[in-house]
A = this chain, B = another copy of it.
């Protein structure tokens, strides 16, 4: 159930290398048959028009704790061989990578579901806030109802 070593969760200003992260996650574990990655990018066209830059604010300390809790929940729900979450903070240009989620398992269903779960919970439970900077100044991004709906599907029914 554990990955080969290294942090499962990182909050950082630096960019990340998707291929290198997947290699690190899968190296030495030949039981892994499926790796799913999700990469989130800064879109140039936002709700209020073209943006010049985005600023990612977070709550140092609490962010890592929230992400670790989400990872632990995913590991409890699916038979995962490895998990990785990287989220960037600070200023980000359009096209820049924001977030990486990796889930590795024997078969693809668990890897896909866990990656979707990680993203749905990260979007609704990890303390990050996006501010878009465009020609008319700064604007805090609104939370999307679709994200709450997506997260709710993982709750027990009834």
Residues of A participating in the B interface, judged by any CB pair closer than 8 Å: 17-20, 22, 26, 30-45, 94-95, 106-109, 111-112, 115-116, 119, 146, 150
Return the chain B residue nearest A38 by Cβ.
Answer: B36
Within 8 Å CB of A37, what residues of B? Answer: 18, 35-37, 39
Contacts A22-B39, A108-B116, A112-B115 aside, 10 further interface pairs with beta carbons under 8 A come to A18-B22, A19-B19, A32-B41, A33-B43, A34-B38, A36-B39, A38-B112, A109-B146, A109-B150, A112-B112
Within 8 Å CB of A150, what residues of B? Answer: 109
Query: Which of B20, B31, B33 interacts with A40 by CB under 8 Å?
Result: B33
Within 8 Å CB of A35, what residues of B? Answer: 37-39, 41
Return the chain B residue nearest A46 by Cβ.
Answer: B33
Q: Is the CB of B19 within 8 A of A44?
A: no
- Give A47 Cβ to nearest chain B Cβ, in Å: 12
Known: A35-B39, A108-B119, A119-B108. A30 touches B18 (CB 8 A): no
Return the chain B residue nearest A100 by Cβ.
Answer: B35
